[in-house]
Structure 1
Amino acid sequence: MSFAPPTTATAPRTWTRPDSEFFISTNPSLLSVKAVNEAFGQEWLYWGTPFPEEVMHDMLHGAMSFGVYKTIQPQPEGEPFTPSTETTEQIGLARMVTDGTTFGYLSDVYVLPEYQGHGLGRWLMSCISEVFSKENMPYLRRIMLLTGDKRIQGWYAKVFGMEVIAHEHRPDIGQDLVFMCARPNAKS
């Protein structure tokens, strides 16, 4: 018996809300290196710094990137939803570094401050949770992340069943981080 070579390629998905200007997509053609670098240059995004464009491009496209977008040009009435870089603005991101089967490392989660309070962060996590669910990834063994945001640790515990398993002192960013891990499909 012969097997096809392994792949982590997953068909892009897009989530929309009825009567909303916001959507979330894993379509790599919508990712904006410029928008992410601008966010990484902001003080509130304490863990990141801008990268050369080619490095940022490789970082975004080497992971399963979930972009959060605002539609800046409405779709014509009756037309199917077909977002493009000309009709949207990237306002958030979450990257899942993954092999597409057994492992995921969640990184670089943000929504621009001016768009917070619309439930976009919760919606983003629910989209990631859907993709990394037992139904979609039955062999998923581990999801991990680092965070310095104490208030969000409870959210990750609730959404992914994460537990704090270690602490990391990070004087370079002026705060301590916790390492969280979940084993969603582990046998008890």
Structure 2
Amino acid sequence: MSSAPPTATTAPQTWTRPNSEFFISNNPSLLSVQAVNEAFGREFLYWGKPFPEDVMHQMLHGSMSFGVYKSVQPQSEGEPFSPTAENTEQIGLARMVTDDTTFGYLSDVYVLPEYQGHGLGKWLMSCVSEVFSKENMPYLRRIMLLTGDKRMQDWYTKIFGMEVIAHERRPDIGQDLVFMCARPNAKS
């Protein structure tokens, strides 16, 4: 007798910092199609262009998306903050295309330039790393990504133990990209 297929075990999480207006969440209800499309229209995201809203919605919700947010409503002293799409501003993203069990492809990682320098990118990657850890995903075989930034290659190597495995020429974006891969649960 066969058993039912496994279901995703990753419930949405929210990470906060004490005394900070910033937080990170993989709760899909907080994602802002408009904010991500606006970011994709900016020059610093050289790899992306805005999409029609329904396409962007599918892209964000068809993946495990981690949003970086700023609270836009002051909190009352001692009151717990309950984030909603109305009381937050999305200022960053990391999108993991995944089967929630064995594979993850990291894409579309950014923090808006005006919010860089607060350690938000490093914190974002630590949240992604926590969800895609051996403890949370014991059958994870591979995490992959593409990047054209040498500094980011070094950073992903440090955070995920990634290695460059291939190169891709991309004259359409004026950069050469590298494929990087980590095998977090591989036996040595």
Which moved further from structure 2: 162-171 or 67-76? 67-76
Which moved further from structure 2: 14-23 or 81-90? 81-90
Counterpart mapping for 1:53-132 below 5 A: 53-132=53-132
Aligned to 1:138: 138
Distance 1:67 1:54 in 2: 18
Distance 1:3 1:24 in 2: 35
Which moved further from structure 2: 121-130 or 75-84? 75-84
What TM-score, normalized by structure 2, do the two folds share?
A: 0.97
Contact 1:74–1:87 (CA<8 Å) still a contact in 2? no
Tell whether 2:169 aligns with 1:166.
Answer: no
User: 1:81: Cα distance to partner?
Assistant: 2.2
Distance 2:165 2:2 in 1: 40
Distance 1:23 1:109 in 2: 16
Tell whether 2:30 aligns with 1:22.
Answer: no
- Listed as ranges, the gaps of 5+ residues in structure 1 are none
Distance 1:28 1:9 in 2: 15
AA aligned to 1:120 is L
User: 1:187: Cα distance to partner?
Assistant: 1.1
AA aligned to 2:67 is G
AA aligned to 1:52 is P
User: 1:4: Cα distance to partner?
Assistant: 2.6
- Listed as ranges, the gaps of 5+ residues in structure 2 are none
What TM-score, normalized by structure 1, do the two folds share?
A: 0.97
Equivalent residues, number: 188
Root mean square deviation, CA, Å: 1.0
